[in-house]
Structure 1
Amino acid sequence: MKVIAALHGPGPALLEPAFRAEVAATGATRLQVNVDDDEVAPAMRFGPGTPITAVVTAWTDRDPAPLLDVVRRHDPDVHAWSVDEREPLVPPAVADGARTDALANLAFLRRPAAMPHAAWLADWLDRHTQVAIDTQGTFGYVQNPVVAHLTDGGRDVAGIVEELFPMAAMADQHAFYGSGGDEEELQRRFTTLMDSCARFGAAEGLDLVPTSRYRFTL
């Protein structure tokens, strides 16, 4: 089971060995911590929800309740979900505990009320995926459809996507969209992506969180 938890308070302690030990004690085998920190301070962030400052992801074969108890010590109002995982673009491997050299954007998606869940999911996973990859400068793309809501908060979130961009993408639109300095191509990619996002409601009503990404084997 993959569990994703969004926190809304300070996140540096999540990178400390003590936190990893607590998570490991719950039976989790892997941990990922994404933090909105100084490294990504210039990046864009927005959303209708309470601002997210850190995201904890853990893989476990056990009841997630003890894991959530650990995370709640850092944020009592954490929002958490169990998710499926798809990796259309597998992120690069890095040394255990090292920061991935990337702007790791996390988007928390909400399904339009008028769109049936099955249709929304198919449109996101089957149609939009290639459009997103073709129109952006990403080198890592991970989709996480929500399977179950593990907390009362965050029940409006239907999916979570993580996209890895070059660090230059924080200030350079050509780096973000992979358009190689061609203004016409930049506009084409931007328009194509926005039109595709609008089809399944991702052009608005989502939370975008820029982060630094760390992974640990427990």
Structure 2
Amino acid sequence: MKLMYVVWGSRLADSLLSKDLHQRLAAVGATGLQVNTDVSQALPRLATYDRPLGAVVSVWTRESATAVTELISSVGDNLAGWLVQEGGPLPPPATGSGVRVDALSNIALLRIPEGMHRLEWFRRWEDHCTGIGMKNHATFGYAQNTVVGPLVEGCRVGAIVEELPPTAALTGAPALCGDSRDGLEQRAARMIQSFAVFGAGANVDVIPTSRYAFDLPTSRRNRLSPGTTGGRLPLPTDPPMSGRFLTPVRNSPAMLKGNP
């Protein structure tokens, strides 16, 4: 199963990329790790939280999520986390363990609008926004993670998307959109319209990051790459994952304001 976290704190990259943490994660049953560290100079950035997100962490494990959540929590000031099912139309490229992917990894936290049925939200996301995003961005990796349930109390997110345009997108929109006969304004207009269809035009977080994937010491898992198994978007009607992994951890009293 796959667990995803957003983490706040200082010097997170040093802690999350350290062999010590990786060994501790492996000791509690984790088989794979992906660390996405904030790239502060990149745009666009959207936020619903009072403080900027410092990192996004993905962990694959065959054991209970509680021990993993406690370890990830220990490296930062605060966190939010979710059990997810992974999929997507364009699996991110595999790299050597610990090697930065040569891309800008944009991660978006999506929330289902009040009053919209969950199944209808997923249908609109899959049928409208996904294809438009693939056509209008110079993307060579696109992973979709649908949220099964929270790992930390009070964390409301419907899905987490990771999109990989070229590293040159750090410098601005032209590289993000790639070569096209259409201008940037036309592409931007199409994207804004597609966001509005399923309510992603508001109450969304977009975090520009650098992406590192690790095979942990005890890993025997053969996967395309940490980040996606490939294939269609897993829908809420798919067989549910075991509820024994979904005991939420109580967050600290200093839980950040915003809409987690």
Short-chain TM bin = over 0.9
Residue of structure 2 in register with 1:15 after alignment: 17
Residue of structure 2 in register with 1:90 after alignment: 91
- SS of 1:157's partner is coil
Residue of structure 1 in register with 2:237 after alignment: none
Q: Is the 8 A contact 2:42 2:208 kept in 1?
A: no
- CA-CA distance at 1:46 after TM superposition: 2.0
Identity %: 38
- SS of 2:169's partner is helix
Amino acid at match of 2:133: A
118-127 or 190-199, larger mean C-alpha shift:
118-127
Higher helix share: 1
Residue of structure 1 in register with 2:137 after alignment: 136
- Tell me the alpha carbon deviations over residues 177-196 of structure 1, each in whole angstroms, 9 at most, x when there is no partner: 1244x5x4322221111100
- CA-CA distance at 1:127 after TM superposition: 2.9
Amino acid at match of 2:55: A
What is the aligned counterpart of 2:185 among 168, 184, 187?
187
- Tell me the alpha carbon deviations over residues 23-63 of structure 1, each in whole angstroms, 9 at most, x when there is no partner: 111101110000014xx523332211242110110111211
Q: Is the 8 A contact 1:109 1:159 kept in 2?
A: yes
**How many pairs align?**
213
- The question of 1:45 aligning with 2:39 is answered no
Residue of structure 1 in register with 2:28 after alignment: 26
Q: Is the alpha carbon distance of 1:189 and 1:179 closer, same or farther for their aligned partners in structure 2, counting shifts above 3 Å?
A: farther
27-36 or 122-131, larger mean C-alpha shift:
122-131
Q: Is the 8 A contact 2:9 2:77 kept in 1?
A: no
Alpha-carbon distance between aligned partners in 1 of 2:43 and 2:210, rounded to the nearest angstrom: 11
After TM superposition, the runs of 4+ consecutive aligned structure 1 residues lying more than 6 A away are none
- SS of 1:196's partner is helix
- Tell me the alpha carbon deviations over residues 84-121 of structure 1, each in whole angstroms, 9 at most, x when there is no partner: 11121111111111000111011001111021111001
Q: Is the 8 A contact 1:91 1:164 kept in 2?
A: yes
43-52 or 158-167, larger mean C-alpha shift:
43-52
Q: Is the alpha carbon distance of 1:125 and 1:61 closer, same or farther for their aligned partners in structure 2, counting shifts above 3 Å?
A: farther
Alpha-carbon distance between aligned partners in 1 of 2:202 and 2:177, rounded to the nearest angstrom: 19
Give TM-score, length-normalised by structure 1: 0.92
The 5 A counterparts of 1:134-173 are 134-154=135-155, 156-173=156-173
- The question of 1:56 aligning with 2:54 is answered no
Residue of structure 2 in register with 1:124 after alignment: 125
> Any gaps of 5 or more consecutive residues in structure 2?
217-260
Q: Is the 8 A contact 2:9 2:78 kept in 1?
A: no
Alpha-carbon distance between aligned partners in 1 of 2:34 and 2:5, rounded to the nearest angstrom: 10
47-56 or 57-66, larger mean C-alpha shift:
47-56
- CA-CA distance at 1:76 after TM superposition: 5.1
Alpha-carbon distance between aligned partners in 1 of 2:178 and 2:78, rounded to the nearest angstrom: 37
Alpha-carbon distance between aligned partners in 2 of 1:21 and 1:153, rounded to the nearest angstrom: 29
Residue of structure 1 in register with 2:210 after alignment: 212
> Any gaps of 5 or more consecutive residues in structure 1?
none
